[in-house]
């Protein structure tokens, strides 16, 4: 198993249907509680342990999930309200080194739960046409809302699996 990608890389070749979107939104809704369970009983030393050689600590992974939620929520709202907006990418590695990543993980868990509540409510109330709306990433080009939701849902499961498989390897 590749510890960096314990569930594999994101891959989707089909048509994004309402059923698939509902599955992805459900994954988003479940992430905060699954993450809370995955972190249960970890002490500070464990939180500050990298999940792989040269990788982020568990604490940084959790804060990264909150950072990503902020960014993806904003991207989707921009795509829904502007005509092909160009989004501002963020350097996740630099963000992971900022001082707010030393806060207790509960801060980011609360933030993630709150953003996902709003995010999922928004997504459940969109039309099929809304999921086709486009934003432009300066480095990767055009993306539509529907496929972006799939990438984002995979991203949460990906990082959750990094934590859970690391705990299994360590016997925590």
Residues in binding site:
64, 155, 159
Residue 50 bridge partners (DSSP): 57
Burial category of 11 from C-beta neighbours within 10 Å (exposed 0-12, middle 13-18, buried 19 and up)? exposed
Residue showing tokens 């972006």: 148
Helix axes 18-39, 105-124, angle to 10 degrees: 170
Annotated binding site for Zn(2+): 64, 155, 159
Task: Report helix, strand or coil for 135.
Answer: strand
Decide: 69 and 92 in contact? Cβ < 8 Å: no
141-144 vs 134-137, strand pairing mode:
antiparallel
Task: Report helix, strand or coil for 171.
Answer: coil
Task: For residues 2 and 51, give the distance between their C-alpha atoms in angstroms, rounded to a whole number.
Answer: 12
User: What are the phi and psi torsion angles at 59 (to 5°)?
Assistant: -60, -45
């Amino acid at each position: 198993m590749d510890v960096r990608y314990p569930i594999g890389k994101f891959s989707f070749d089909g048509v994004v249907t309402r059923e698939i979107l509902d599955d992805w939104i459900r994954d988003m809704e479940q992430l905060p509680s699954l993450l809370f369970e995955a972190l249960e009983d970890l002490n500070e030393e464990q939180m500050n342990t990298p999940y792989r050689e040269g990788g982020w600590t568990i604490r940084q992974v959790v804060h990264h999930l909150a950072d990503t939620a902020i960014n993806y929520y904003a991207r989707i709202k921009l795509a829904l309200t502007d005509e092909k907006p160009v989004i501002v990418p963020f350097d996740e590695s630099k963000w992971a080194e900022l001082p707010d990543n030393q806060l207790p993980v509960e801060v980011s868990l609360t933030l993630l739960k709150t953003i996902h509540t709003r995010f999922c409510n928004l997504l459940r109330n969109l039309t099929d046409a809304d999921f086709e709306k486009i934003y432009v990433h300066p480095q990767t080009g055009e993306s539509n809302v529907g496929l972006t939701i799939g990438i984002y849902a995979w991203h949460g499961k990906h990082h959750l699996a990094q934590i859970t498989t690391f705990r299994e390897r360590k016997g925590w």
